[in-house]
Amino acid sequence: MRRVAVLLLALLATVRFTPAAQNAARAVETLPARADSLKFAVLGDNGTGEKPQYDLGQQMAAVRRSFPFDMVLMLGDNMYGRQDPQDFVTKFERPYAALLQAGVLFYATLGNHDNQNNRFYKAFNMGGERYFTFVKKNVRFIVLDSNQLDPKQRAWFEEALRQSDDRWRICFFHHPIYSDGGRHGSDVALRVVLEPLLIKYGVDVVFSGHDHMYERLKPQKGITYFVSGSGGELRRGDVHPSGLTAAYYDQDQSFMLVEVAGDEMFFEVVARSGAKVDSGVIRRQPVGTRESR
């Protein structure tokens, strides 16, 4: 009887104090989690339907207990392989079931593996558009389809930026214009089109995926760029750090936690194991006072 009790206790302890759960509690220690702040998570290249995606989904749900984010930015390649109705279940609804049940909203952008018709999928909150914008608290989010930047989209993007009088401006799209990923790296052709607008209209932060790793770039002309493309896929050891690299992690799947509070944006990057692999704070710089690289 005593042996059974010990066994049960051991099992309970295992469930309660797995490394992931311990790390999940530890993971959010650098985020202030203020009551009135905007809290969200970011992940990209996630829709594999394989175990690492499910693990990360569980980790996100665990972290949310101490850091109650109410939306997730998906940076494209939300779905790999087949994209039949059943795949929306196995590659999206099931891995993030806990978050969806808790009412967390997902906002997606299209990657190169996504079917363009996925923009009509309600849970991606794209409103049937390839590119769109929305506001949360004092943050303007602008979402682009970087697969091809046609003149119409470019004109729309400039108009959306011009009309925004929000305190923060955050853009996200699939293909990074700055990246030290070995397989893809920076898309310089896109950068030449987008960067002048990002600078001109005072965009603060840009999130992208495509390269299957995590990287934070040193601010480029006043803008902080993140690559978060290991939400399901992973290309281990793919980062080739350069003078642009501020931090990176390419050993496991990961996602980001972000909190915007006043003029500060706190971020933390959590690996599948629950380990915190990067964190920091970005202070919003008014346009005109930004330092060049």
Segment near another protein (CB under 8 A), from 10-18, 22-30, 178-186, 215-223?
178-186
The interface with another protein within residues 232-291 (CB under 8 A) comprises none
In the complex with another protein, the residue whose CB is nearer, 23 or 186, is 186
Burial of residue 218, with CB atoms counted within 10 A of its CB: 0-12 exposed, 13-18 middle, 19 or more buried: middle
Candidate ranges 95-103, 147-155, 212-220, 233-241; the one touching another protein (CB under 8 A): 147-155
Residue 144 near residue 195, CB atoms below 8 Å: no
- Contact residue for another protein among 94, 185, 244, 273 (CB under 8 A): 185
Q: Which residues of 253-269 are buried (b: 16+ CB within 10 A; e: fewer)?
A: bbbbbbbbbeeebbbbb
Give the per-residue contact string, 115-144, with another protein (x = CB under 8 A; - = no). xx----------------------------
The long-range contacts involving 186-190, CB below 8 angstroms and separated by at least 24 positions, are 187/146, 190/146, 190/149
> Coil, strand or helix: which one is 240?
coil
In the bound state with another protein, the residue whose beta carbon lies nearer, of 181 and 274, is 181
Stretch that binds another protein, among 146-154, 198-206, 229-237, 264-272 (CB under 8 A): 146-154
Of the candidates 33, 97, 98, 193, which one interacts with another protein according to CB under 8 A?
Answer: 193
- Whole-number Å distance between alpha carbons of 113 and 124: 15
Per CB under 8 A, which region of 2-10, 14-22, 153-161, 273-281 contacts another protein?
A: 153-161
Q: How far is CA 281 from the centre of its chain?
A: 16
Quote the tokens at residue 76.
């494209």
Instruction: Out of 51, 137, 162, 183, name the contact with another protein by CB under 8 A.
Output: 183
Distance CA 104, CA 123 (A): 10
Distance CA 207, CA 222 (A): 15
Q: The sheet that has 254-261: what strands, in order across it?
A: 105-108, 71-74, 38-43, 254-261, 264-271, 276-283
- The size of the interface with another protein (CB under 8 A), counted in residues, is 31
Q: Which one of residues 12, 189, 281, 287 is an interface residue with another protein (CB under 8 A)?
A: 189
CA dist., res. 61 & res. 250, Å (int): 22
Site string for another protein, 44-83 (x = CB under 8 A): ------------------------------------xxxx
148 binds another protein (CB under 8 A): yes
Candidate residues 149, 170, 260, 265; the one interacting with another protein per rule CB under 8 A: 149
Give the residue with the Cβ less far from another protein, 148 or 289.
148
CB 40 within 8 A of CB 69: yes
The binding site for another protein (CB under 8 A) comprises 80-83, 110, 112-116, 146-155, 175, 183-185, 187-193
